[in-house]
Amino acid sequence: MADVDKKMLTQFLLRMGDNTLILGHRVSEWCGHAPVLEEDIALANTALDLIGQTQFWLGYAAEIMGDSKTADDVAFLRDVWDFRNLLLLELPNGDFGQTLMRQFLFDSYQSILLPRLMKSSDQHIAEIAEKSSKEVAYHVERSAETVVGLGDGTEESHARMQAALDRLWPYVGEMFSSDEVDAAMAAAGIAPDPATLREEYDALIGKVLAEATLSIPDSDFTHKGGRNGATHTEHLGHLLTQMQWLQRAYPGATW
Amino acid sequence: MSKEWPLWEIFIRGQHGLSHRHVGSLHAPNAEMAIKNARDVYTRRNEGVSIWVVEANNISASSPSEKGPLYEPSESKIYRHPTFFDIPDEVGHM
């Protein structure tokens, strides 16, 4: 493990793991409700991939926290203010188009971040990134193709995808808003400063959204407060009541 | 025009050296998405190394009502099976 403040490293790992946990839970809400059977199964697969990645990130975070904590403790026994996920990922699903737009915006970010993390000075992080990156490569291919299909589709699907992009765009900037945790990770060679990923990200989504005939809103306004835990949206608490109720109602319950 | 996605027949090769086998069908807007959907629907448990998709209306099939003329003539032609050769013992199990 690289020489770095453990509290900072834990924050970084919570950011990674809470992102995949919260999005994984949101995507799982589609199970049994997607517009067609094929998409239903594909979304459930994606949700499972994300929860699988969460086990690695939060498992490592729990290991560093010590106190014989597990990934389950970290996922199910923290409250809203302890979560470090992007606000984008805790927003309600909206319609199918909005769900896929959110997926695409996040998949694109992960597809740029994970290859950098594969070169992390922390061997464990490099291994998690390596394993996750194959799943993410498929996720971004699928979500990008769906965004293009629906954006450049019928009049209605185009309108819905543009509305989804307009709704979600103010939450994209948070991915790149660095703070002292990111500075510490970058200095230790553990993770890149996310601000340095923006150019590549804009190029990637710009290409796909142009193909989807969608216009990126002309605004830099950014909602923040998820990845540093300062101000989550009202939606996260409701999500947690669903996600955590079993462990809360029956502490320590196992299969 | 139908608003339904077309139906695709899915063929999966389970491992190298085997043939692609028909595993089922699904709906998709185009061939690329049909492959992705097939990956998600039919290879979740590590079933495949290769996927073929064919739009169902591109498959021509024999008619069940013609099975008499098509298949019955071969029933009585047992000499078409290679079972009338004496196999030398040295050959062993074939």
Chain A residues near residue B41 by CB distance under 8 angstroms? 37-38, 41-42
Q: Give the Cα separation of A43 and A48 in Å (integer).
A: 9
For the whole model, what pTM was predicted?
Answer: 0.88
By three-state DSSP, how is residue B26 classified? strand
- Over the range A19-28, which residues count as b (16 or more CB within 10 Å of their CB) and which as e? bbbbbbbbbb
In a domain, B27, yes or no: yes
- Domain residue limits at B31: 7-83
Greatest alpha-carbon pair distance for chain A in Å reads: 56
B2 is a domain residue: no
What is the Cα–Cα distance from A29 to A92, expressed in whole angstroms? Answer: 10
Task: Output the CA–CA distances (angstroms, integers) from residue A34 to A38, A43, A97, B57, in the order listed.
Answer: 9, 8, 11, 26
d(CA A122, CA A29): 34
Q: Which residue of A has its CA nearest to B26?
A: A38
- Do the domain assignments include residue B78? yes
Query: pLDDT band at B69, cuts 50/70/90?
Result: confident
CB contact under 8 A, A145 and B28: no
Question: For residue B49, is it within any domain?
Answer: yes
| Residue B29: strand, helix, or coil | coil
What would the mean pLDDT of A35-54 be, rounded to a whole number?
A: 95
- The pLDDT tens digits of the residues spanning A75-116 come to 999 999 999 999 999 999 999 999 999 999 999 999 999 999
Q: What is the pLDDT of residues B11-40, one digit of tens each?
A: 999 988 899 999 999 999 999 999 999 999
Q: Which two tokens stand for residue A170?
A: 């103010």
Q: How many domains does chain B have?
A: 1
Residue B62 distance to chain A (closest CA, Å):
29
Q: Tell which of A38, A141, A148 to mutate to test the B interface (max B CBs under 10 Å).
A: A38
Domain presence at residue B38: yes
Q: Do A42 and B37 touch (CB under 8 A)?
A: yes
Measured between beta carbons, which residues in chain B are less than 8 angstroms from residue A141?
A: 36
| Residues of chain B found within 8 Å of residue A138, distances taken between Cβ atoms | 39
Residue B2 reports pLDDT greater than 60 = no
Amino acid B1: pLDDT: 45
Instruction: Write the ipTM.
Output: 0.74
Dig out the tokens for A121 from the structure: 């000075």
**CATH class of the structural domain A6-214+226-249:** mainly alpha
Assigned domain for B36 exists: yes
Contact A27, A48 (CB under 8 A): no
| Inter-residue long-range contacts of A247-252, CB under 8 Å, 24+ positions, other chains counted | A247/A72, A247/A76, A247/A77, A248/A76
Residue type, A204: L
Q: Provide the mean pLDDT of chain B.
A: 89
Residue B1 located in a structural domain: no
Q: Do A42 and B36 touch (CB under 8 A)?
A: yes
| Cβ-count burial A228-237 (b if 16+ within 10 Å, e if not) | ebeebbeebe
Contacts of B37 in chain A (CB under 8 A): 38, 41-42
Task: Report, as an integer, the average pLDDT of A197-221.
Answer: 97
Interchain pair A149, B41: CB under 8 A:
no
The CATH number that applies at residue B30 is 3.10.20.520
Query: Residue A244 pLDDT > 60, yes or no?
Result: yes
Q: In the prediction, which pLDDT does A2 show?
A: 53
